């Protein structure tokens, strides 16, 4: 049996997709697996603000079109890039183990920590979630909007004379940059910057009626990550799931208890709310929806 896997052509996307392919091959050595790279709108319009060119969906729409047309059998995405609602006919399948969920600050050489940054330090990020949480921690920071793949953004530290850029730790680690950049990395705890919902989790998208792919992918499932993905995507969907407003979430599991922490703000950052809610393993998506709805009401009443 041959399986065609679709993914973006970036170095990180190909690395992540090959991780999934290796997991599948280990469990199903008889499969022939082909990787097909697909250019997305987000890859073509690299410098434009995400929310101006269509939000999270700009990294997945072209790939989803090929999946619906039967040109590929499955697609691998970063789950944090997935909109809250998928196109009719598609679904997310089983989820492998999560990588580091945190954000990481890549500093220019000579700097050592977030607290030691000079007054008015220039930090690059295209994310409102990162921007407003960093400014809440250090009001003096000068946040510069940047986009591009990981290598491009790191190079902008030199080319645009930045003091640092904020990236997802998962991407840094999957590319092995945590070793080469070791002395320049500051991992941001969730108490400072709550991550994007499902950050560090890979999403595997398939056609809803494809029972064969579903059965194949069962072998890579990771129970704790499956729970976190359901809860955090529930929050994302309940909060509207766009790039226009800052949204963050992280779910922790304690035996049968599930605790979700959410972050939600207004588009201009004038209102920023953090809230926690507890639930059980019986109502995962509901916990996400409920916390999002509570926070939306609180935000809109201010």
**What are the boundaries of each domain within the chain?**
1-96+201-221, 103-187, 222-301
Average confidence (pLDDT) over 265-272: 94
Q: Which residues are catalytic?
A: 81
Distance of CA 224 to the CA centre of its chain: 17
**What is the pLDDT confidence band of residue 53, given thresholds at 50, 70 and 90?**
very low
Could you tell me if 295 and 239 are in contact, meaning their C-beta atoms sit under 8 angstroms apart? yes
Q: Do domains 103-187 and 222-301 have the same CATH topology?
A: no
Residue-averaged pLDDT of the chain: 92
What is the b/e burial string over 33-55, where b = at least 16 CB atoms within 10 angstroms of the residue's CB?
A: bebbebebebbeeeeeebbebbb
Token pair, residue 29, equals 């050595």
State which CATH number among 2.60.40.10, 3.40.50.970, 1.10.3720.10, 3.40.190.10 fits the domain covering 103-187: 3.40.190.10
Class of domain 222-301: alpha beta
Start-to-end CA span in the chain (Å): 57
Rg (CA), the chain: 19
Q: Looking at the predicted structure, is the pLDDT value of residue 209 above 70?
A: yes
Token pair, residue 5, equals 């896997």
Class of domain 1-96+201-221: alpha beta
In this prediction the pTM is: 0.92
Q: pLDDT for 72-104, tens place per residue?
A: 999 999 999 888 889 999 999 999 999 999 999
């Amino acid at each position: 049996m041959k399986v065609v896997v679709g993914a973006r052509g970036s170095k990180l996307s190909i690395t992540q997709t090959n991780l999934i392919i290796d997991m599948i091959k280990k469990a199903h050595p008889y499969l022939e697996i082909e990787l097909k790279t697909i250019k997305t709108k987000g890859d073509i319009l690299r410098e434009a603000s995400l929310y101006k060119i269509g939000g999270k969906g700009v990294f997945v729409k072209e790939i989803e079109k090929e999946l619906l047309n039967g040109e590929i059998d499955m697609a691998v995405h970063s789950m944090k890039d997935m909109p809250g609602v998928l196109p009719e006919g598609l679904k997310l399948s089983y989820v492998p183990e999560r990588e580091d969920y945190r954000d990481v600050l890549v500093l220019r050489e000579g700097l050592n920590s977030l607290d030691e940054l000079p007054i008015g330090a220039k930090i690059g990020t295209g994310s409102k979630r990162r921007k407003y949480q960093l400014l809440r921690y250090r009001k003096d920071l000068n946040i510069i909007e940047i986009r591009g793949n990981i290598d491009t953004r790191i190079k902008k530290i030199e080319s645009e004379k930045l003091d640092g850029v904020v990236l997802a730790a998962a991407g840094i680690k999957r590319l092995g940059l945590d070793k080469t950049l070791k002395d320049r990395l500051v991992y941001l705890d969730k108490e400072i910057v709550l991550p994007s919902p499902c950050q560090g989790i890979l999403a595997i998208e398939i056609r809803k009626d494809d029972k064969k792919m579903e059965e194949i992918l069962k072998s890579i499932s990771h129970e704790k990550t499956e729970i976190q993905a359901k809860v955090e995507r529930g929050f994302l969907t309940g909060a509207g799931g766009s790039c226009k407003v800052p949204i963050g979430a992280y779910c922790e599991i304690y035996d049968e208890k599930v605790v979700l922490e959410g972050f939600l703000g207004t588009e201009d950052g004038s209102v920023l709310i953090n809230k926690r809610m507890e639930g059980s393993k019986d109502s995962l998506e509901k916990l996400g929806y409920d916390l999002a709805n509570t926070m939306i009401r609180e935000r809109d009443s201010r």
